[in-house]
Amino acid sequence: MDPVNSLPPLPSPVPSPVPSLDVAGLAFAYPDGHQALFGVDFTVGRGERVALLGPNGAGKTTLVLHLNGILTGGAGTVTVAGLPVGKKHMAEIRRKAGIVFQDPDDQLFMPSVREDVAFGPASAGLKGPELEARVRTALEQVGMEDFADRPPHHLSYGQRRRVAVATVLAMEPEILVLDEPSSNLDPASRRELADILRSLDVTVLMVTHDLPYALELCPRALILSEGVIAADGRTGELLSDDELMRQHRLELPFGFDPRSVTMGA
């Protein structure tokens, strides 16, 4: 029996009256005329972990920058937890949709880990014991509570990646958007981050070229290619479709067989 085809249906997301993320007809062209997105449509339910896959130049970064209003002005709509992305709701959107960028040093700029994690909620008006509790919880979620008073630049790359995740978790987001979370991580740091992501009670959209990591962590995957969603389905099934993979310039590591992997919950 084919292990992929015999798998049970995708697990249902935690019931919610509205999805964490709804993208409808999203199209966008840069000022130089380059059209990056041509009409992107997908929905991510509350509690889902979804991988966003695609070759370089597919439009993944452009899409991510629309999710909390860094880019706006194209056609279509983006809705986060029922709120349309736009000026009226921008502060709340940026709290609900937290982006962890590929390079953690893009998010860490304060003298200590504690101050970096506190920066977002403090800027939103949190103070005193409530702020301290928010910082402590976020650091505990990523296993970095013992490093609160360390300068971020004294940490390893993997530790800085975890602190960058904590800076977003401190805002108590509904959806965590991760841009290439496993890049430049050694195997132990890669596994530690995977354990953290499994433990979080948030919706996850993970942009990655690391296809085994996508299979390990995300039951569902989207393939973005030439500015549109080319495929949407169970991660193992998409990665096992040789023709689909070739068509969209996706390649698994040599010898890796997605049919032989039992994906974690």
Residue 211, domain member (yes or no): yes
Check residue 254 and give its pLDDT: 76
Residue 180, domain member (yes or no): yes
Residue 261, domain member (yes or no): no
Owning domain of residue 98? 21-107+174-251
Task: Give the pLDDT mean for 182-190.
Answer: 93
Check residue 258 and give its pLDDT: 80
Nearest to 97 by CA among 61, 70, 77: 70
Question: CA 167, CA 145: separation in Å to the nearest integer?
Answer: 13
Check residue 173 and give its pLDDT: 95
The mean predicted confidence, pLDDT, of the chain is 90
The total domain count for the chain is 1
Residue 118, domain member (yes or no): no
Does 185 score more than 70 pLDDT?
yes
The CA distances from residue 86 to 13, 36, 71, 81, 98, in Å, are 26, 20, 10, 13, 16
Check residue 1 and give its pLDDT: 45
Give the containing element (helix H, strand E) for 99: strand 97-100
Residue 89, domain member (yes or no): yes
This prediction's pTM = 0.87
pLDDT digit string, tens, across residues 71-125: 987 899 999 999 999 888 898 999 999 999 999 999 999 999 999 999 999 998 9
**CATH number of the domain bearing residue 55:** 3.40.50.300
Angle formed by the axes of helices 113-123 and 128-141, nearest 10°: 120
Residue 16, domain member (yes or no): no
pLDDT digit string, tens, across residues 9-65: 666 555 547 899 999 999 999 999 899 999 999 999 999 999 999 998 899 999 999
pLDDT digit string, tens, across residues 137-165: 999 999 999 999 999 999 999 999 999 99
102 burial type by CB count under 10 A (0-12 exposed, 13-18 middle, 19+ buried): middle
Residue 116, domain member (yes or no): no
Residue 102, domain member (yes or no): yes
